[in-house]
């Protein structure tokens, strides 16, 4: 078996690490080729994740970098096509909904290489989100669709995707969390920042709808106001950092702690210790749901409604003024968190490998934590 894995952005390293580990464990004699598109390229957005998650060094670096959607997608396609033609894989595995995903699916499909899409079936029903377009294309052209929630199954059925392509396996992002849980618990990131567990709000913001326009200034001002009631820890995404600098700074308040982007273990340690999380990220809605940490999402919609249904996540809308309501909403939350969704159990990637490699058996239980 020759399998190519295409990854390129921070969240997708987390989603794919356990899949690569499980596939290698099940088929150690296969050729497992890792392609890093370079959509994310800063050390803190890329290398740190390979080191912490124990992903082998990429076999191919496409160094695509940033650009408009067309430029980024086209550059990835141009540079990926010769790799696929040389490697001649039996299968291409790609996660998520970013431009690297879209490019990989198009290149592989046109070369007749079957695609396995991890984290399939998510829909925000908001076509202004570039990720929604990427999701629909990826699912339409994939041979194997791996879902993590019942809503995803329903979305794909509604689009007429044949049942035999759909595989409910659970959440590979949670596999990584489960595998690295001991190191996350030992990291004590809150202590290193001088904040008490359960006592602070952790913030992440990076979506263009929030940070590329006029809402960013008010958002930062609202965070500064919130920090007068409880400390606010805010690791700042490079995109957001650039926009804050272009807007002339802001965010100076004694209890508003801004930092560079963090590695996986330090960041998850902050999530696990947070009293509340305020975000516009997709993956963090899932990680907080698994950990039972109250999450507030600064968006009008979510492609992850299971997090809302369970009560761990609440949509605040694309509305910075809603940040002021976090303390009262937090007080209204039940003290006992719900159980995580079914199959968010640390073994999703093994189920992916069972589907993709039915003629092989597990040589050993994969352990990304041992890296």
Active site residues: 206
Query: At closest approach, how far in Å is the CB of 61 from ligand UD1?
Result: 13
**Residue with smaller CB distance to ligand UD1, 47 or 188:** 47
Q: Alpha-carbon distance 19 to 13, whole Å? A: 10
Binding site for ligand UD1 (CB under 6 A): 9-11, 39-42, 45, 66, 98-99, 130-131, 206, 238-239, 242
Q: Alpha-carbon distance 107 to 109, whole Å? A: 6
CB 239 within 8 A of CB 207: no
Q: What are 313's strand-pairing partners?
A: 295
**Residue with smaller CB distance to ligand UD1, 49 or 231:** 49
CB 292 within 8 A of CB 178: no
Query: At closest approach, how far in Å is the CB of 69 from ligand UD1?
Result: 6
**Residue with smaller CB distance to ligand UD1, 128 or 336:** 128
Q: What are 203's strand-pairing partners?
A: 278
Query: At closest approach, how far in Å is the CB of 215 from ligand UD1?
Result: 15
Query: At closest approach, how far in Å is the CB of 313 from ligand UD1?
Result: 16
**Residue with smaller CB distance to ligand UD1, 19 or 64:** 64
Q: Alpha-carbon distance 216 to 282, whole Å? A: 19
Question: How many Cβ atoms are within 10 Å of 45's Cβ, its own excluded?
Answer: 16
**Residue with smaller CB distance to ligand UD1, 64 or 92:** 64
Query: At closest approach, how far in Å is the CB of 177 from ligand UD1?
Result: 18
Nearest Cα neighbor of 197 from 206, 209, 184, 208 is 184
Question: How many Cβ atoms are within 10 Å of 346's Cβ, its own excluded?
Answer: 19
Q: List C-alpha distances in Å: 3 to 19, 28, 31, 87, 323.
A: 12, 12, 6, 9, 45
**Residue with smaller CB distance to ligand UD1, 38 or 320:** 38
Query: At closest approach, how far in Å is the CB of 138 from ligand UD1?
Result: 12
Query: At closest approach, how far in Å is the CB of 97 from ligand UD1?
Result: 6
């Amino acid at each position: 078996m020759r399998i190519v894995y295409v990854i390129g952005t921070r969240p997708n390293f987390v989603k794919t690490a356990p899949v690569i580990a499980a596939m290698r464990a099940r088929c150690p004699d296969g050729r497992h080729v890792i392609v890093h598109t370079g959509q994310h390229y800063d050390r803190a957005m890329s290398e740190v994740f390979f080191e912490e998650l124990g992903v082998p060094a990429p076999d191919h670096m496409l160094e695509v970098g940033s650009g408009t959607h067309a430029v980024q997608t086209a550059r990835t396609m141009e540079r990926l096509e010769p790799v696929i033609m040389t490697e001649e894989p039996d299968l291409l595995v790609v996660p998520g909904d970013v431009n690297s995903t879209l490019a990989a699916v198009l290149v592989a499909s046109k070369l007749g290489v079957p695609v396995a899409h991890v984290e399939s079936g998510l829909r925000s029903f908001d076509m202004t989100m570039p990720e929604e377009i990427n999701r629909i294309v990826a699912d339409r052209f994939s041979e194997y669709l791996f879902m993590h929630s019942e809503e995803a199954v329903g979305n794909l059925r509604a689009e007429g995707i044949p049942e035999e392509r759909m595989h409910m396996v659970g959440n590979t992002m949670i596999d990584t969390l489960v595998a690295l849980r001991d190191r996350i618990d030992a990291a004590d990131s809150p202590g290193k920042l001088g904040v008490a567990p359960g006592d602070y709000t952790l913030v992440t913001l990076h979506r263009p709808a929030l940070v590329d326009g006029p809402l960013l200034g008010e958002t930062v001002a609202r965070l500064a106001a919130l920090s007068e009631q409880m400390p606010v820890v805010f690791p700042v995404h490079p995109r957001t950092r650039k926009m804050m600098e272009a807007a002339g700074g802001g965010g100076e308040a004694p209890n508003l702690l801004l930092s560079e982007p963090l590695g996986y273990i330090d960041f998850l340690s902050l999530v696990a210790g947070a009293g509340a999380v305020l975000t516009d990220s997709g993956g963090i809605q899932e990680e907080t749901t698994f950990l039972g940490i109250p999450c507030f999402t600064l968006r009008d919609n979510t492609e992850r409604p299971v997090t809302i249904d369970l009560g761990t996540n609440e949509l605040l809308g694309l509305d910075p003024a809603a940040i002021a309501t976090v303390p009262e909403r937090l007080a209204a939350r039940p003290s006992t968190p719900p159980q995580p969704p079914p199959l968010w159990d640390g073994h999703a990637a093994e189920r992916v490998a069972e589907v993709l490699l039915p003629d092989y058996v597990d040589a050993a239980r994969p352990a990304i934590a041992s890296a």
